[in-house]
Amino acid sequence: MLKIRKLHRYLGLIMLLPMICWAITGTIFFIKPGYKNAYEMLKVKTYPLEQSITIPEHSSWQEVRVVKTILGLHLLVRSDGPQQKTMHLKADTLEPWLKPKEADIKRLIEDAFTGNQERYGVIESFDDNTAVTSTKVRVNFNWDTLSLSQKGNDTDLINLIYKVHYLQWTPWDGVNQVLGVVGLLFLVTLSILGIRIYLRGRR
């Protein structure tokens, strides 16, 4: 009985830090403070089409989308093939629409900010398809698909909390998996020992 109590006590001490982390991070996951902004789906702002567009048939085109932005009319075509590459064309001429100048890209991105100006502010720097805003939000831009994605300090913090909760405490995936399995085994063992101590105490 004494050995079981000692083992239970030692396992409890070992699991104290992970259990505190689980409790705190689990509460955050339940309440989800700041999740809406942190994981907001930022999209290019579009406008109603004011004219009809005639799109010719093409055997290799699987999906066609016409989009109007602050820069004009875009034709996004997903072609057939193993990679299903997206082509970005000018809707009026069907010519490839090459990536525009940085100033135009900034206009396009900042136009998308109008839905949540408080979060994004204005662009302070732009490099290699990534814009950094005055609120320290990083916005990645893909011209081929005309898509945006965003990450802020709040996103990084929530991702860190996620890693803490699931015992991803090291840079190595293999080690993190071992920590997770060991943590669960310790928790199950702790529960079993606790039940045995309780049942023996009632005899």
Task: Decide if 152 contacts 136 (C-beta within 8 A).
Answer: yes
Q: Closest Cα partner for 29 from 152, 159, 185, 144?
A: 159
Q: What are the pLDDT digits (tens) for 111-157?
A: 999 999 999 999 999 998 999 999 999 999 999 999 999 999 999 99
Q: Which amino acid is at 179?
A: L
pTM of the model: 0.80
Q: Judge whether residue 180 has pLDDT over 90.
A: no
Average pLDDT over every residue of 100-120: 96
